[in-house]
Structure 1
Amino acid sequence: MKKTGWVLALVLMLTVVLAACGGGSKEGSASPEPSGSQAAATEAPTDGSSTEAPAQEVTLKVGVSPVPHAEILNLLVPVLKEQGVNLEVVEFSDYLQPNIQVFEKQLDANFFQHTPYLEKFNADHGYDLVNVASVHVEPFGVYSDKITSIDELKDGAKIAIPNDPSNGGRSLLLLAQHGLIELDQNAGVDVTVADIKANPRKFEIVELEAATLPRVLDQVDIAAINTNFALEANLNPVEDALFIEDKDSPYVNILVTRPDNKDDEAIQKLIKALHSPEVETFINETYKGAVVPAFNK
């Protein structure tokens, strides 16, 4: 009996000790509160970094003519990338789709046209697209594969001009400025072939799609060609044109958006980048007078 009592006492003692050692590990018991630096580490990082997720990159789709517009914007792709804007440059060979796709929200903006063209396009289509930034002037030029001086132009010569109202009128004004035709003074910038008041040398005015004009130079005597299409055809307005507009041309190329997104942060970042000294230097050094910066005029 003494031996049995001693064993029971030993078992009871061990039970008490084990219960004391396992006190905080019972299932469902509360975890101990963190203290000191442990609490601080739980509440905030110690390296000063933010716990917020980084801002999501924004994609900005801009429709352009290949030259010089795409070349200028491609320069800015890495610049805007650092600012959280993925600039997607979409090239077009016509003057209709860039405006249509901006209006239909397939593009965020476009960069290919001047203000008179935009105003005419808006009026004709019932659009409300807006000019948000002036960028550069492309002096319009007259070219030929057949003569090297305008003095060699013969009576009855065939003259090709763009068939869109804005650039067609611009061509006629340039021809009149150099004495080849005379225009109705009341026509303004919306002048058309119907406003030719005098054509004493019987020139044949042929209206064709602007993009095709460099390709028909061998079929006409002279052609008035937009600088972007001239550059694409390896024609240098300064060196190859018989004559060009002066640098005070009102036909400044512009960045165009919709009223609903004109103040968006990504658009404003693009405008600031387009007006940077780097873009001004790029235009001057790359095009050497064939394209002229307009934002510091």
Structure 2
Amino acid sequence: MKKWLTTGFILLIIGFLAACGSNDDNSSSEGGESKEITVGATAGPYSDMLKKAIIPNLEEKGYTVKVIEFSDYIQPNNALDNGDIQANLFQHTIYLENFAKENNMDLTALITVPTAPMGIYSNTFDSIEDITDGATITIPNDPTNAARAFNTLQDEGLIVLDENADPLTVSEKDIVENKKNLEFQPIEAGQLPRSVESADLAAVPGNFALAAGMDLLTALALEEMLDSYRNVVAVKTENKDDQLAKDIVEVVESDAFEKVIDEEFQGFGKPEWMN
């Protein structure tokens, strides 16, 4: 009797340990990576993009995903670097590379996603063709977004830029022809949506336009963005070849992702790889 009781107890312990092992397997992906992840974004359209277009498809792959929303452009990369989150979506490549260099971080852009473009908005004119001589236009006062504004104005035929100037760094001094004698008024990007009330025109980056409740499709013109200005999903460089990174890329490249973009994010410019 003692022998049978001992044998039964041992089998019970083995069964318990096997069950624990099974539970551990269920919380990990291939190679032992955790299937419980946290991703970060700034509150607004890119948090929405995570929730509507990316996370549902990651959940189908067995992930449990928590989203943290940040209110600034500094903490998402700090959280990524120290391991509090496994990926983030809020920044373009130029910002990512500069931030990582200045803060001694090793971060990598995993894949580029559709991004809200800068728009030329006006309560004064109904079209680009209606713009009159000497019209005022507010533009971002930071060099990166100002360059985007000048490139957009050139694309719309309003100015001509020095052909030798770097498109990523062009400024007002690179204008060789100002066809409408536009008067430029640099202000902080966050104030640009409100400036539509006081200036004839305003060059408003897409994220600030959406945050202010503006409709991208009401702009007189939308930016033909360089991919360097499109937002990316970023990870720590040491994790860029992990299964999670591969799964994120697969999700973003899927037809299901593009379908949500076309339905829910109208006006967003798609990166070159999607075209």
Return the TM-score normalized by structure 2. 0.77
> What secondary structure sits across from 1:155 in the alignment?
coil
Partner of 2:221: 243
Counterpart residue number, 1:291: 268
Counterpart among 110, 127, 130 of residue 152 in structure 1? 130
Change (3 A) 1:129 1:110: same
1:39 deviates by 8.7
Contact 1:85 1:266 in 2 (8 A): no
- Output the CA distance in 1 between the equivalents of 2:49 and 2:68: 10
**Which residue of 2 is the match for residue 62 of structure 1?**
40
The match for 2:207 is 228
2:139 aligned residue: 161
Q: Give the letter for the 2:265 counterpart.
A: Y
Deviation sequence 1:186-209 (CA, Å, 0-9, x none): 222221223223335432222233
Task: Give the fraction of aligned pairs with identical amino acids, expressed as a percent.
Answer: 30
Contact 2:141 2:186 in 1 (8 A): yes
Q: Is the 8 A contact 1:135 1:293 kept in 2?
A: yes
Match of 1:277 in 2: 255
Q: Judging changes above 3 Å, is the alpha-carbon distance between structure 1 residues 34 and 98 closer, same or farther for their aligned structure 2 residues?
A: closer
Alignment of 1:254-269 (within 5 A): 254-269=232-247
Q: Following TM superposition, by how much is the alpha carbon of 1:131 offset from its aligned partner in structure 2, in angstroms?
A: 0.8
Task: Report the aligned-residue RMSD.
Answer: 3.3
- Are 1:170 and 2:170 an aligned pair? no
Q: 1:91 to 1:145 in 2, by over 3 A?
A: farther
Per mean C-alpha deviation after superposition, the further-off stretch among 215-224 and 156-165 is 156-165
Where 1:139 maps in the other structure, the secondary structure is: coil
Please give the per-residue CA displacement for 1:154-196, whole angstroms capped at 9, x wherever unaligned. 3322212223332221111111122222222222222122322
Residue of structure 2 equivalent to 1:88: 67
* 2:159 aligns with one of 162, 181, 189: 181
Structure 1 residue runs of 5 or longer lacking an equivalent are: 1-23, 25-30
Other-structure match for 2:91:
113
Whether 2:30 is the aligned partner of 1:52: answer no
Residues in 2 aligned to 1:124 and 1:196: alpha-carbon distance in whole angstroms: 30
Q: How does 1:132-151 map to 2 (within 5 A)?
A: 132-151=110-129
User: 2:192 is paired with a residue of what secondary structure?
Assistant: helix
Q: Paired residue for 1:28?
A: none
CA distance in 1, matches of 2:184, 2:95: 21
Superposition pairs of residues 98-109 of structure 1, within 5 angstroms:
98-103=76-81, 105=83, 107-109=85-87
Structure number with larger C-alpha Rg:
1
Residue 3 of structure 2: which of 14, 29, 32 is its match? 32
Deviation larger for 57-66 or 119-128: 119-128
Say whether residues 1:196 and 2:168 are aligned partners. Answer: no
Quote the offset at 1:279 in angstroms: 1.9
What do the CA deviations read for 1:252-286 (whole angstroms, capped 9, x no partner)? 32112222333344444333333332221111011
- 3-state DSSP class of the match of 2:191? helix
Aligned partners of 1:162 and 1:126: how far apart in 2?
Answer: 27
TM-score, normalised to structure 1, is 0.72
Distance (whole Å) between structure 2 residues aligned to residue 164 and residue 123 of structure 1 = 19
> 2:49 aligned with 1:72, yes or no?
yes
Q: Is the 8 A contact 1:283 1:293 kept in 2?
A: no
**Partner Cα separation in structure 2 for residue 281 and residue 187 of structure 1:** 38
Which residue pairs with 1:16 in the alignment? none
Q: 1:170 corresponds to which letter in structure 2?
A: R
Distance 1:43 1:131, change over 3 A: same
